[in-house]
Each structure stands twice: as C-alpha cells, then as structure tokens.
C-alpha cells in the first residue's frame, strides 16, 4: 500500500481482443470475416490525441460501431461507414480514415453532416473529440473511485499511486479536449448510461453526471471484470440519472434502523461501560446495510441466509438483524449467572444464533443464522460456505436461489488472512460454489492499533476479491442512503449473476479496539478527527428533518420507543438465573440422527456394492485398460483390500440412505491411485462415471470431489457442510496427513472444542495418510500426537462404560490395521446415536500390503468395529507362558508380526493392536493385560519417541494395570523431524526398534 502500484494493467480497458473473442462467440462473422484492425491494449496514461487511430482506449467504442456496422452499415455515421469499408478492403487503419465534415456541435448538426461525408477536414477533429469523450467516460468508470468521497474522516489513508487522477472539468485537456469544448454536445458511447433517454449531451453535463455516478459517496470498482454484460449491468445501476432516489417510507425505515443500531450501542455503553463488547460506533450503518441485503434477497426468493462475522458489532447484529431476544443478550453481561448446559461455553461476542421469522418488508419467512466463531479472524468464512452449500444441497437448490451466505469482515483481517483468498477460490468450483456470497467489510481504517499503511500492500483492503472478478462497491458509511443503495445493488447482483460481490463500508472506529483501549496512544491524528466527528445518526436525522421527511416529534418518539424496549428487556434479563448455551445454537439439527441398520440387508448391500465397485454401470464407456484390469481384479478378490473396504462402507451407507461427501485433493482417484471412485471416458473429454451413484434407484447421492489446493479453506468448508445435518457422512482427506497443519486453525478452534464451546455436535471425518516408509521427513507423519494431546479424556482415571466414554469425548481417533475395521468405523460414524468428529490415521503402503486384507465375513452381520484386536495366534494356547505383550497401532503391526515370524517366537510374544486410540479402550486393554499375567508390557511404535502415541498411551496403560507393572518403550528415539531423509538410516532405525521389541532381555537390563 505504501507505494501503490496502480499499474497500467489496472487502467486498461477491456481489450479489443477480449471483446472480439467474447462477441465473436455470439455473433456470426460477417463481411470478409477477418477482424484485423484491433490492436492490443495500451496505457491509459497516454494522451488520447497521441493515440494511433482505432486502437487502445478507443477500441471498445470503435468495436461497438464496427459490430453495428456489420449488421447494418447505415446504422453508423457515414464517416465510420467509409472507414470500415476501407478497412475491410484491406486498407491500413490509418489510411482507411477519410475526413468527414464538421458537425458544429449540436445533435442536429450530426444529421446535416451525414450528407457531407468524405469531404470535410474537420471531421478528423470530430472523431477525435468523440473518442476523447469515450476515453473520459471510461476513465471515470475505471478511476472515479479514486476521487470519490469515501472517507467520513476525510483523512485519506488510501494511498493510490503517485500518478494524478485525470478527472474533472479542469482535466479535459488530458484527453485532447479543451475548456471551449465543455458546451459542445457529444454522442454518448453505448458503454455508458448517464444519458438516460438522451443519446447526446454537452461535455459539461457528461462530466457532471459521471461525477455524480462515480465520485460521490460511492466508489465502484468493476472495470477489471472481463464480462461485458456484467460491466454494463453495473454501469446502468450507478449511471442512470436518478437512481439514488428513495421514497419517504424507505427513508423513514432507514432512519429507524439507524436509531436502533446507534441506540443499542449507547444502551450497552450506559449499562456496562467497562465491559468489552467491540462496539459498532462509527459504522452504525452496518445494521441497515445488512437488513437491506436481507430484504432484497428475500424479495428475490431467498429463504435462508447463513452469516459469518467477526467481533465488531456482533451483539448489535444479533439484536437488530437476527433478532435475538435482547434479554438473552443482556444476561450475557451478568457474570454471576451459572451455565446450565454441558460444555464450557464461549464469550458473548463469539456465540452463534439461529432464528426463523417473517421478514417485515417482504412478508415472507426467512431463516437467519449467524455462525458461532472463534477469535481467529476469517476462520469462519469457509465454514459458512460449507454450511450454505449443504443447505442448498439438501433443499435441491442447485442455483443458490433459496439459500445464500453473507460474510462480514474487518478491513485488516480481510486483507491479511490467507483463508479469505482460499475461500474466494472455492466460490466458483462446481462442488463448492454457493452461487455468490455478499461480503460486507467494516472498513474502519484500522486493525487493533495498526495503521493500514503498514498492514497491507494493496490500496484497498478489498483487493483480494478481484481474484474472482467480484465487483467492489466502496461506500462512505456516513451516507446511509448510499449504503442502502449499494447494498440493494449487491443483493441484486448476487441474485442476477450468482457471483460474489463486496460492499466496503468505509467508516471509522469511534472508540479503541475495545471499550477499554486508548486509541490516542497509537492513532493520535485520526482520533483527534474522530472526536470532532458528528455521529452518523445525528447527521442523517438532521438531513431528514431538514428535508421534512420526518418530524422532530416522530424522530424523538422512535428513540424513546427503542430505549423503552431495551430497558424492559434489561429488567427481564435480571430475572434470568441460568445461562443456557443451547439458546445460542447456530445449527439445530432436525429430528434424530439415523440409528440402527437393517442387518439382514447388509449382506446384499455388500454384495451389490462389491459388484458396482468392479464395474462400469454405463453404456459405451471407454475405460483405461489399466483401470479395467484393476476393476476386474476387484471382482475376483477373495479377500477385501483397503479400497474395497471403503467402497463397501460407502456403498452400504448410500444404499441405506446416507448422503456421503468425500472431498480433498485428488480424492476422486486417490493420492495413491487406489480408490478410483470417478472413472473417466478415455475418448470423450469430461465424460465421467461415478459407479457409486448407480447402486440402487433410491439410494442417497454420493459426492466425491477433488478440491482446490487448500487445506484451511476446504477442511473449514467440509466442517460447515457436516454441520448442516447429522445424517450425512462428510469426509475430508489430506493428501498426506502432515498437510493437516495448514488447516490447524479449523482443527484447534472448531473440530476439537466445537461441541464444548458451542453445544453443537459434528460428525466430520478426517482421513490422514500416515506411515514411516522411508519417504523422508515430509509425507510421513499425520502428527497423531497433536490430536491425542487435545483429547479431553483423563489418562489417570479408569472409565466405567465404553459408550459413555464415546459420548463424553471431544473426538474419536483411530488407526485401523484392517480394511474390515476401517469399513466398520466409517459405518459406526453414522450408526451411533450421536455425532463426534472422527480422526482416521490412514495407511499408505498398507493399501497394497498382501497381509492387510480382510475376509468379507468380517463385514457381515454380527461383526462390528474392534477397538482393540487381540492376538489370536499361538500365544492364546498358553497365555501364562507369554513373556511379553507388545501393544501397537497401525502399520507397525505388520512389521512386528514379520519380525516375530522370523524369530520364531510367536508363542511367547503377543501382539495386540489398539485400533481406537481415543477414547482409550481401557476395558479391552485390561482383558489383554490380565490374560498375560507374566508378560511385560511394551508399547511399540514406528514414530519417534516424542511423537506418535507413546506419551498418550503410556499413562493409560499404567492406569489400566493400576500401576502394578512397568510399561516399556520400543520405537525410534526422540527427534525434531518426523522422519529421516535417508532411506538406509530409516531401515537401520526400523531394525533397531524391532530388535528392542523382541529382545526379551532389553528391559531387564534397563530396570
């Protein structure tokens, strides 16, 4: 931002080549077909008079005439007719021009001039002047926002580049015009709507109208959009004369909304002056802004709006937009109230809320939900999108006409947080689009204590939105009517184009970051100005009083009425004895979770799914030969491998009516080329087949989608999707498990503590490929230790009931060693009566390991998920003789059994697999430790000692045996990196810890 790079590119018009391309798709080529006179773009800063003819900034105008001429040569001025004829005959652009006669200036003159074409030398000047006007119009459209009066403080923190803005009456010389031209009349290009019903206007009037459209309280940034229809749509919304007129009723409603917004903050300030509330003072027009967007969207048929927002003004939005009962808000300020629900709760400015009500303006039902969010700014963005997508999906709203999202942002966070960018990039992807989000930025020109000039490198905080061609409407938040206008346009834009749009409310923050902060420490000049600033309600009420739109009495009555509402609610809030977190639920689930299964059907489901998994259920589909072989191999399988186990789990759930959504990078094929859930026709581009959607006619749909290369954004999205309904299995797979750390915020802030903070369950599944396979430090570890460390279970207490354990835990962590157990854990996720996040540490080499197979019998009725798989080999014959029991989890089991075979001591060393790490299967571990009373207890893992499971498992094993037996460790030593980069070192380490695991003297020597 310090040195703003307003590059030539930003100022470029839609290029001739672009326009030709888009138009040539719509129009048939005519008259020779060759379009060769249009040159590439050029800088706007070159004076118009110096431009070669028919290129650069004039090209749009010329193009339009050219197309008109192609259709009807008489529709353009004779002079242009000659040029186009010559150009099409192959004459060079410069020579194609022949001077037409002068026009004198008036519209009438134009007609007269038609007769004299081809003869008059002044025609050159005339054409140049018209092109100059075209350039001028375009300059306002591109750069008008640079000089719009956006900042209520007028301190201009936005630092554009050093090049002056060539707009205004005094700058016409820049375009090759002079002041004497101001009274001359010019024909308006078709790329402007300032004329209304007039097609010609005097230059002075043209400039005045452009200033009205682009340089008042609204600054419109849209000329980077490369879609002509969309640009024209925006132009007419802001340029048409008289667009900014409001009825008396609209003005009064606006005033009432301003009163509520302002007086709410004043009320809180009066009652709880020393409480943090992140007040909205300085941006009170946010409330009418949101209400306008909601009204307009409701008018356009939207029935449900999902919103995400940060701290600033949140209580006000809850009160005046979502219509949360005021007494419930006020009682949050009472520190003495006791919490009534399970969970630890959250502070008042993070809580969410859900409400269905009648929209008073449209008289239609509307559901509004504000998602609970953590302190982490912008983290809620993808979650809101996911929830919105899910609601659209469940109500069959394929175009986003009934459900939409609104995201609010702070200026610093919007510019600074990468997840904003990640979320924008989801906006147009088929499986992630929510068909347009309205973004509203509370741009108070400061982030906590930090000045934007050191907080971002872009001129506006909203520049990130340009990446998806979203129009950006900057508006001075001290002009509530302008705010209302842009919000109307934003909602209409979304309803028309189903694309994102940004409203940038340029405002200020009257107090410090929170009500306790002293802003003068860090923003002395800004706050001197703010202290002088009249409140927006005062300004607007004075305006309406002066206009006679409201009487003083009405205005004062409105204020008194709202004060009374607040006082009464406050009185009621004192009667509250208990704080119900449940009252702040943002995503209530309809009905019960799906429970139980038709066991007798399981077999047939498995059989039909197995068939589907190995076939292509559509006609004439050319499958890759290699893939054909793989699918054929599946049919012949006598045992089930990992991919088929997953297929069976999905297929059976789909057949039972559970929607499944699997999302992540390359999940369709599978990173390890094992899954193949989407088949591609080798002959027809983009023809695909998803066999799992062909299981049975009344099955639930299966969505499997490769995602953008984002973890934070996509995991947040899937979490939001899973929030919408308990009756869907929503899975996110990391390409490799270690990539989950770029989504850490979603894991730490939402998945791990979500239920405790916000009393809402979530059954999201994370699939995290993991395993030490000599592939180097990256791609080896999904970091199970981090997930385990965040479990809420007490390692020192032996729990009573396994089911209660599940119910109480904050998430479930498993590392399955067999396809059948993986099959069962996926199914259990839906079949259990409540929802918990499930973290699955998934294998890589086990996907193809000859021993990591399951019998189909292990999936039939009567079988279930095994939290622990005991040793069923020779050790069972004489357990008393067993000298050691090695507990382990995951892939290392196969390395241990191989080593045990090699050593031939499978009757004295038992190996037990802990498949569900959390909640820890204390009861089943106890069965094993009791079974082998003379065995020493070893925990073996392939991960380094300070990683993996050891620190988690050790105290639990000790609790299980009541600390009567020591627990030994066999595994890699502590290390900083998850794995060595050296293959030989990897193998040495492996052999070393296997030696320890089977050396029966290893620990006697230590003790």
Q: How many residues bind Mg ion (CB under 5 A)?
A: 5
From start to end of 876-946, where are the E strands? 884-888, 909-914, 916-918, 936-944
State in angstroms the smallest separation of the CB of 412 from Mg ion.
5
The answer to the question of residue 442 lying near ligand TPP (CB under 6 A) is yes
Q: Contact region for ligand TPP (CB under 6 A) — 411-419, 659-667, 807-815, 900-908? A: 411-419
Q: Is the separation of the CB atoms in 845 and 773 below 8 Å?
A: yes
For residue 312, state whether it binds ligand TPP (rule: CB under 6 A).
Answer: yes
Q: Given the complex with ligand TPP, which of 513 and 680 has the nearer CB atom? A: 513
134 — phi, psi (to 5°)?
-60, -45
Name residues contacting ligand TPP, limited to 653-692 (CB under 6 A): none
> For residues 808-841, b (16+ Cβ closer than 10 Å) or e, as one string?
ebbbbbbbbbbbbbbbbbbbbbbbbeebbbbbbb
Whichever of 447 and 819 has its CB closer to ligand TPP, that residue is 447
**Cβ closest to ligand TPP, residue 606 vs residue 751:** 751
> Given the complex with ligand TPP, which of 138 and 757 has the nearer CB atom?
757
Q: What is the rounded (10 degree) CA torsion for 732, 736, 741, 743? A: -30
* 310 contributes a contact to Mg ion by CB under 5 A: no
52/524 with CB nearer ligand TPP: 524
How do beta strands 364-370 and 304-308 pair? parallel
Per-residue mark of binding to ligand TPP, 458-497 (x: CB under 6 A): ----------------------------------------
Whether 505 and 285 have beta carbons less than 8 Å apart is answered as yes
How many residues of this chain bind ligand TPP (CB under 6 A)?
16
Exactly one of 63, 295, 397, 411 binds Mg ion (CB under 5 A); that residue is 411
Task: Specify the residue, 411 or 773, whose C-beta has the smaller distance to Mg ion.
Answer: 411
**Residue 81's binding partner, choosing from Mg ion, ligand TPP, none, with beta-carbon cut-off 5 to 8 A by kind?**
none
Supply the DSSP symbol for 480. H
DSSP reduced 3-state for 183: helix
**Which of 306, 501, 452 minimizes the C-alpha distance to 386?**
306
Residue 385 or 417: the one with the smaller Cβ distance to ligand TPP is 417
Helix or strand (DSSP H, E) at 532 = helix 524-532
Task: Count CB-CB contacts under 10 A for residue 645.
Answer: 25
Smallest gap from residue 922 Cβ to ligand TPP (A): 38
Least Å distance between CB 443 and ligand TPP?
8
Q: Could you tell me the strand order of the sheet in which 812-814 lies? A: 702-706, 659-664, 728-733, 765-769, 838-842, 812-814, 916-918
CB of 295 to ligand TPP, least distance (A): 24
Pick the closer one to ligand TPP by CB: 10 or 376: 376
Closer CB to ligand TPP, 129 or 411, in the complex:
411
| Residue 948 near Mg ion by CB under 5 A | no
Per CB under 6 A, the list member of 412, 581, 886, 909 interacting with ligand TPP is 412
Pairing between strand 353-359 and 884-888? unpaired
Q: Could you tell me the smallest distance in angstroms from the CB atom of residue 513 to ligand TPP?
A: 6
CA distances from residue 88 to 53, 145, 359 in whole angstroms, order as listed: 15, 39, 59
Please write down the long-range contacts of 148-151, taking CB distance under 8 Å and 24 or more positions apart.
148/214, 148/215, 148/216, 148/217, 148/218, 148/219, 148/474, 148/476, 149/215, 149/216, 149/217, 149/476, 150/217, 150/219, 150/474, 150/475, 150/476, 150/506, 151/445, 151/476, 151/506
Among Mg ion, ligand TPP, none, what binds residue 979 when CB lies within 5 to 8 Å by partner kind?
A: none
Does 285 engage in binding with ligand TPP (CB under 6 A)? no
Cβ proximity to ligand TPP: between 62 and 441 the closer is: 441
**Where does this chain touch Mg ion (CB under 5 A) — which range of 437-445, 543-551, 665-673, 706-714?**
437-445
Whether the CB-CB separation of 715 and 743 falls below 8 Å is answered with yes
Helix axes 228-239, 480-497, angle to 10 degrees: 150
Q: Which is nearer to ligand TPP, 508 or 922 (CB)?
A: 508
Residue of minimal Cβ distance to ligand TPP: 410
Enumerate residues 6+ apart whose C-beta is below 8 A from 812.
806, 836, 837, 838, 839, 916, 918, 919
Of residues 359 through 398, those in contact with ligand TPP by CB under 6 A are 375-377
Q: Prior bond to 678 cis, omega within 30?
A: no
Query: With respect to Mg ion, which residue has the nearer C-beta, 82 or 309?
Result: 309
In whole angstroms, the minimum distance from the beta carbon of 419 to ligand TPP comes to 9
Closest-CA residue to 657 (of 724, 718, 589, 596) = 596
413 binds ligand TPP (CB under 6 A): yes
Contact call for residue 958 and ligand TPP (CB under 6 A): no
Rounded Cα distance, 648 and 695, in Å: 11
Taking CB under 5 A as the criterion, the residue among 195, 310, 410, 461 binding Mg ion is 410
Which CB, 251 or 509, lies closer to Mg ion? Answer: 509
Do the Cβ atoms of 641 and 855 come closer than 8 Å? Answer: no
Q: How near is the Cβ of 512 to Mg ion at its closest, in Å?
A: 12
User: Choosing among ligand TPP, Mg ion, none, which partner's interface includes residue 376 (Cβ < 5 to 8 Å by kind)?
Assistant: ligand TPP
Interacting partner of 990 out of ligand TPP, Mg ion, none (Cβ under 5 to 8 A depending on kind): none
Name which of 412 and 728 has its Cβ closer to ligand TPP. 412
Binding mask 867-906 toward ligand TPP (x if CB under 6 A, else -) reads ----------------------------------------
Residue 771, number of CB atoms within 10 A of its CB: 25
Spell 471-504 as b/e; 16+ CB within 10 A means b: bbbbbbbbbbbbbbbbbbbbbbbbbebbbbbbbb
Contact string (CB under 5 A) for Mg ion, positions 443-462, x = contact: -x--x---------------
The residue (of 56 and 512) whose beta carbon lies closer to ligand TPP is 512
Q: Which of these ranges, 249-257, 408-416, 704-712, 993-1001, lies near ligand TPP under the rule CB under 6 A?
A: 408-416
> Minimum distance between the CB of residue 465 and ligand TPP, rounded to whole angstroms?
15
- What is residue 888's three-state secondary structure? strand
Q: Which of the listed partners (ligand TPP, Mg ion, none) does 654 bind, with a CB threshold of 5 to 8 Å by partner kind?
A: none
- Encoded one letter per residue, x for contact with ligand TPP by CB under 6 A and - for no contact, window 445-464 reads -xxx----------------
Within residues 722-781, the interface with ligand TPP by CB under 6 A covers none
> From CA 133, how far away is CA 463, in angstroms rounded?
28
Between 43 and 449, name the residue whose CB sits nearer to ligand TPP.
Answer: 449
Comparing CA positions, the residue from 453, 319, 304, 282 lying closest to residue 389 is 304
Residue choice 93, 400, 410, 784 for contact with ligand TPP (CB under 6 A):
410
Q: What DSSP assignment string belongs to 349-418?
A: GG--EEEEEEETTTTEEEEEEE----SSTTTHHHHHHHHHHHHHHHTT-TTSSSEEEEEEEEHHHHHH-H
417 binds Mg ion (CB under 5 A): no
User: Binding of ligand TPP at residue 411 (CB under 6 A)?
Assistant: yes
Least distance to Mg ion from the beta carbon of 259, Å? 24
Compute and round to an integer the Cα radius of gyration of the chain: 34
* Binds 700: which of ligand TPP, Mg ion, none (CB < 5-8 Å by kind): none
Calpha distance 733→847 (Å, rounded): 15
Site for ligand TPP in 502-531 (CB under 6 A): 509, 513
- The continuous run of DSSP H or E covering 78 comes out as helix 78-88
Spell out the SS3 assignment of 219-279.
EEECCCCCCHHHHHHHHHHHHCCCCCCCCHHHHHHHHHHHHHHHHHHHHHHHHCCCCCCCC
User: Which stretches of the chain bind ligand TPP, using CB under 6 A?
Assistant: 312, 375-377, 410-413, 417, 442, 444, 446-448, 509, 513
User: Which stretches of the chain bind Mg ion, using CB under 5 A?
Assistant: 410-412, 444, 447
């Amino acid at each position: 931002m310090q040195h703003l790079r307003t590059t030539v590119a930003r100022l470029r018009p839609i290029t001739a080549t672009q326009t030709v391309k888009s138009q040539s798709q719509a129009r048939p080529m005519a008259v020779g077909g060759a379009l060769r006179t249009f040159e590439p773009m050029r800088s706007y800063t070159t004076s118009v008079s110096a431009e070669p003819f028919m290129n650069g900034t004039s090209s749009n105008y010329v193009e339009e005439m050219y197309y008109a001429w192609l259709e009807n040569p008489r529709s353009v001025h004779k002079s242009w007719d000659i040029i186009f004829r010559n150009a099409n005959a192959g004459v060079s652009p410069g020579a194609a021009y022949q001077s037409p006669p002068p026009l004198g200036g008036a519209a009438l003159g134009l007609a007269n001039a038609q007769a004299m074409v081809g003869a008059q030398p002044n025609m050159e000047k005339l054409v140049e002047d018209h092109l100059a006007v075209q350039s001028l119009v375009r300059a306002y459209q591109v750069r008008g926002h640079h000089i719009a009066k956006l900042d209520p403080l007028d301190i201009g923190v936005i630092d554009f580049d050093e090049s002056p803005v060539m707009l205004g009456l005094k700058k016409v010389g820049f375009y090759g015009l002079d002041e004497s031209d101001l009274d001359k009349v010019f024909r308006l290009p078709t790329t402007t709507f300032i004329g209304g019903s007039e097609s010609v206007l005097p230059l002075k009037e043209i400039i005045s109208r452009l200033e009205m459209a682009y340089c008042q309280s609204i600054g419109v940034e849209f000329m980077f959009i490369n879609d002509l229809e969309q640009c024209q749509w925006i132009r007419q919304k802001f340029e048409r004369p008289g667009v900014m007129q409001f009825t008396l009723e609209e003005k009064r409603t606006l005033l009432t909304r301003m009163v509520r917004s302002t007086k709410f903050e004043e009320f809180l300030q009066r009652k709880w002056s020393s409480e943090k509330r992140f007040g909205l003072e300085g941006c009170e027009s946010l409330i009418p802004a949101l209400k306008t967007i909601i009204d307009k969207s409701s008018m356009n048929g939207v029935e449900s709006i999902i919103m995400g927002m940060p701290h600033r003004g949140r209580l006000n939005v809850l009160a005046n937009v979502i219509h949360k009962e005021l007494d419930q808000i006020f009682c949050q300020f009472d520190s003495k109230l006791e919490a009534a629900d399970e969970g630890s709760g959250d502070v008042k400015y993070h809580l969410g809320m859900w409400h269905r009500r009648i929209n008073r303006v449209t008289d239609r039902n509307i559901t509004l939900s504000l998602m609970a969010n953590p302190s982490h700014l912008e983290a809620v963005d993808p979650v809101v999108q996911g929830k919105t997508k899910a609601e659209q999906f469940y109500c069959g709203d394929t175009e986003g006409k009934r459900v939409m999202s609104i995201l609010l942002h702070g200026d610093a966070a919007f510019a600074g947080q990468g997840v904003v960018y990640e979320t924008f990039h989801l906006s147009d992807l088929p499986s992630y689009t929510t068909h347009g989000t309205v973004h509203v930025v509370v741009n108070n020109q400061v982030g906590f204590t930090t000045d934007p000039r050191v907080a971002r490198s872009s001129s506006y905080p909203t520049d990130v939105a340009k990446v998806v061609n979203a129009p950006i409407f900057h508006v001075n938040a001290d002009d509530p009517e302008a705010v209302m206008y842009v919000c109307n346009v934003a909602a209409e834009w979304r309803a028309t184009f189903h694309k994102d749009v940004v409203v940038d409310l340029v405002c200020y923050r009257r107090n410090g970051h929170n009500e306790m902060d002293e802003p003068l420490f860090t923003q002395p000049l800004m706050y001197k100005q703010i202290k002088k600033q009249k409140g927006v309600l005062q300004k607007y009420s004075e305006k309406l009083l002066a206009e006679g739109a409201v009487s003083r009495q009405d205005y004062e009555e409105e204020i008194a009425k709202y004060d009374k509402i607040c006082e009464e609610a406050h009185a009621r809030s004192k009667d509250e004895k208990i704080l119900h977190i449940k009252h702040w639920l943002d995503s209530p689930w309809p009905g019960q979770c799906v429970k139980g299964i038709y066991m007798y059907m399981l077999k047939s489901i498995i059989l039909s799914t197995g068939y589907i998994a190995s076939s292509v259920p559509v006609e004439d589909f050319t499958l890759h030969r290699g893939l054909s072989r793989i699918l054929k191999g599946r049919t012949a399988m006598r045992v089930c491998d990992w991919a088929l186990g997953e297929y069976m789990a999905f297929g059976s759930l789909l057949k039972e009516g559970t929607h499944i959504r699997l999302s992540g990078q390359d999940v369709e094929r599978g990173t390890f080329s094992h899954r193949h859930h989407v088949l591609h026709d080798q002959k027809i581009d983009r023809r695909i087949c998803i066999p799992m959607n062909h299981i049975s006619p009344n099955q639930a749909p299966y969505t499997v989608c490769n995602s953008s290369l984002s973890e934070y954004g996509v995991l947040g999205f899937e979490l939001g999707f899973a929030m919408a309904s308990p009756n869907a299995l929503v899975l996110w797979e990391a390409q490799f498990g270690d990539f989950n750390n770029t989504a850490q915020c979603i894991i730490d802030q939402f998945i791990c503590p979500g239920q405790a903070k916000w009393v809402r369950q979530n059954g999201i599944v994370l699939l995290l490929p993991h395993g030490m396979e000599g592939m180097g430090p990256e791609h080896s570890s999904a970091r199970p230790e981090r997930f385990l460390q965040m479990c809420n279970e007490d390692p020192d207490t032996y729990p009573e009931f396994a089911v209660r354990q599940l119910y109480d835990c904050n998430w479930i962590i498993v590392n399955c060693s067999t396809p059948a157990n993986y099959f069962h854990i996926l199914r259990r996720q839906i079949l259990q009566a409540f929802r918990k996040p499930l973290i699955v540490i998934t294998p890589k080499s086990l996907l193809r390991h000859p021993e990591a197979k399951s019998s189909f019998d292990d999936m039939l009725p009567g079988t279930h998920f095994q939290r622990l798989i005991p040793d069923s080999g020779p050790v069972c014959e004489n357990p008393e003789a067993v000298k050691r029991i090695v507990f382990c989890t995951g892939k290392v089991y196969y390395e241990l059994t191989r080593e045990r075979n090699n050593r031939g001591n499978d009757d004295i060393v038992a190996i037990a697999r802990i498949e569900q790490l959390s909640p820890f299967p204390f009861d089943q571990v106890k069965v094993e430790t009791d079974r082998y009373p003379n065995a020493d207890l070893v925990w073996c893992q392939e991960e380094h000692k300070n990683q993996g499971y050891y620190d988690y498992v050790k105290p639990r094993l000790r609790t299980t045996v009541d600390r009567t037996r020591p627990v030994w460790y066999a595994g890699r030593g502590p290390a900083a990196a998850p794995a060595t980069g050296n293959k030989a070192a990897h193998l040495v380490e492996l052999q070393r810890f296997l030696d320890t695991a089977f050396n029966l003297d290893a620990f006697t020597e230590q003790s």
